[in-house]
Chains A and B, each alone.
Chain A
Amino acid sequence: MGKNLNDIRADFPILEQQVNDEPLVYLDNAATTQKPKAVVEALTHYYYHDNANVHRGVHTLAERATEQFEAAREKVRAFINARSTKEVLFTRGTTTSLNWIAASYGEANVNAGDEIVISYMEHHSNLVPWQQLALRKQAKLKYIKLNADGTLDMTDAAQQITDQTKIVAIAQVSNVLGVVNPVKDLAKLAHQHGAVMVVDGAQSLPNMPVDVQALDCDFLAFSGHKMMGPTGIGGLYAKEELLNAMAPVEFGGEMIDFVNLFDSSWSQLPWKFEAGTPDISGAIGLGAAIDYLNQFGMAAVHEHEQKLVDYVLPQLLAIDGLTVYGPHDPAKHTGVIAFNLDGLHPHDLATGLDMEGVAVRAGHHCAQPLMKYLQVPATARASFYIYNTKADADRLVESIVATKEFFKNGTI
């Protein structure tokens, strides 16, 4: 705690550049965040000084690499307040984590006629693994409806989740609508019916305090690169008793206890699930990203983002012909803001913004069923993070207005 969030731009060299002759304004943070020097230096330091394989050497470098890799696991544990590092698995990211749950827990516990409950706002990574599991098992995939403002319809949730439900899987924060879903209430509902609660934390972990014990979720998946860590590393939290009962998804080195010719036994948690050489540098980089965030504390990170939303959302809503998806009340909206301009495809809008140096995403945001639900082919999306400023918000608004004028008037 203590470091001032208003004075961190210098930690991110990538932000100090011109794009299309304009200073870069990076607003595609929901896709991936930029990395502070501390994270890049942690990777460099590891490769320059400590690189070795983990858990399998008696030499000094192997010992150092193992120590740092497992220290990173402890950092993740503390960050999400898991009970033990046995409950923290390193994966490639949210997608791998969710696929592991479906392939292991889902495969063993979902049968024909059972239900899996998700929502219309899920990212494909928290949708397709369940859809495919349901197809394999002849189970029923059910979708919780949304309210008119894009928030989850909890009345419908209470109806969709039944005694036949085995898995409820919901994003804590939507990557399009910017809403925060009441996953604690959903976990309670799921448990009342004997189901497990899977939380997609890809968009929540980077932006707010997340405490898995307080949420009482059974699984939580997340990605390192959306919280300033490297790409290729992420995590899966699961309650220890569930992991103990679950079969590993992948087999090979690292995850075994003893291998015979015709059978094998598995290593203890968490290594039972981590076959092969893990992304050691990625885990260490993720640990450095967590250290970086902890300088401010996640409450301050969240507050910074909310201040920007309070500032920019009313300005966006004031642009004639601009539609914002999700709640219009800044208090209910995170820093992920999807929008469209009347009569202009989001790709054309995003190209206009890019010419002004403003980086936003345009497309379906890996949420095609949500696009269909909203009845739009695609949207533009600006997403803010800790290094963004009110000046960035001003540049976004100015560029949208300029692009709108350009297409209204035709070529200059």
Chain B
Amino acid sequence: MALSKLDNLYRQVILDHSAHPHHHGHLQKATNEIELRNPTCGDVLQLEIALTDNKISDIAFSGDGCTISQASASMMTDAVIGKTPAEAEQMVQAFSTMVIGDRPDQDLSILGDASILKGVAQFPARIKCATLAWKALNNALTGEDGKGMAQLLTSHED
């Protein structure tokens, strides 16, 4: 049955993160925050970050989205806590490269659980679901719209 291919996308750990997302809610005091929308589907994601001594000391997200976008946001928050903005930016780049299927040999260990979203590359229509939270992270930290990530992803979206 063709549905068995869904396993490549919806791994158990992804379903778990989506059903019980980590760092879901709001921070008492955020230093950086952003709301990002996916205009083609109506998904919306709010991201709040607390930066202390140039490190991400706390992070929270909220909003509406599909299994992939919610799981990706949950995994992203797990992965970036304790990182500097520069390290987080590297992770954003690694994640983007991974989900568009470029450089399948790259080392994904810095992404933690989030590396399991590699399977998204086989579902091009869902790439932007997976990247929403990471774009939000990028924009919240840089204050810019996408930077290198937007460029990298442009040809794979819309």
Q: How many residues of B are in contact with the other chain, CB < 8 A? A: 26
Specify which of B3, B15, B68 is in contact with A347 (CB 8 Å cutoff). Answer: B68
Given contacts A355-B2, A402-B3, contact A363 B42 (CB under 8 A): yes
**A22 in contact (CB, < 8 A):** yes
Does the CB pair B41–A363 fall under 8 Å? yes
Does the CB pair B9–A351 fall under 8 Å? yes
Does the CB pair B41–A378 fall under 8 Å? yes
Q: Which residues of B contact A348 (CB under 8 A)?
A: 10, 66-68
**A356 in contact (CB, < 8 A):** yes
Of all chain A residues, which has the CB nearest B123?
A351
Q: Which residues of A contact B15 (CB under 8 A)?
A: 407, 410-411
Q: Which residues of B contact A355 (CB under 8 A)?
A: 2-3, 5-6
Q: Which residues of B contact A377 (CB under 8 A)?
A: 42-44, 64-65
Given contacts A355-B2, A364-B41, A411-B15, contact A345 B65 (CB under 8 A): yes
In the complex, chain A residues 398-412 whose Cβ is within 8 Å of any chain B Cβ? 402-403, 406-407, 410-412
Alpha-carbon distance A368/B41, docked complex (angstroms): 10
Specify which of B7, B40, B67 is in contact with A412 (CB 8 Å cutoff). Answer: B7
Given contacts A377-B42, A411-B12, contact A347 B5 (CB under 8 A): no
Q: Which residues of A contact B125 (CB under 8 A)?
A: 351, 354
Alpha-carbon distance A402/B125, docked complex (angstroms): 21
Contact with B along A279-323 (1 / 0, CB 8 A): 000000000000000000000000000000000000000000000
Does the CB pair B67–A345 fall under 8 Å? yes
Q: Name, among B2, B40, B41, B64, the residue most crowded by chain A CB atoms within 10 Å (CB to CB).
A: B2
Interface residues of B (CB under 8 A from A): 1-7, 9-12, 15, 40-44, 64-68, 123, 125-126, 129
28 of the cross-chain contacts (CB-CB < 8 Å) are A20-B2, A22-B2, A345-B65, A345-B66, A346-B66, A347-B68, A347-B129, A348-B68, A351-B9, A352-B3, A354-B125, A355-B2, A355-B3, A356-B3, A368-B42, A371-B42, A377-B44, A377-B64, A378-B41, A378-B42, A378-B43, A403-B3, A406-B6, A406-B10, A410-B12, A411-B10, A411-B11, A411-B12
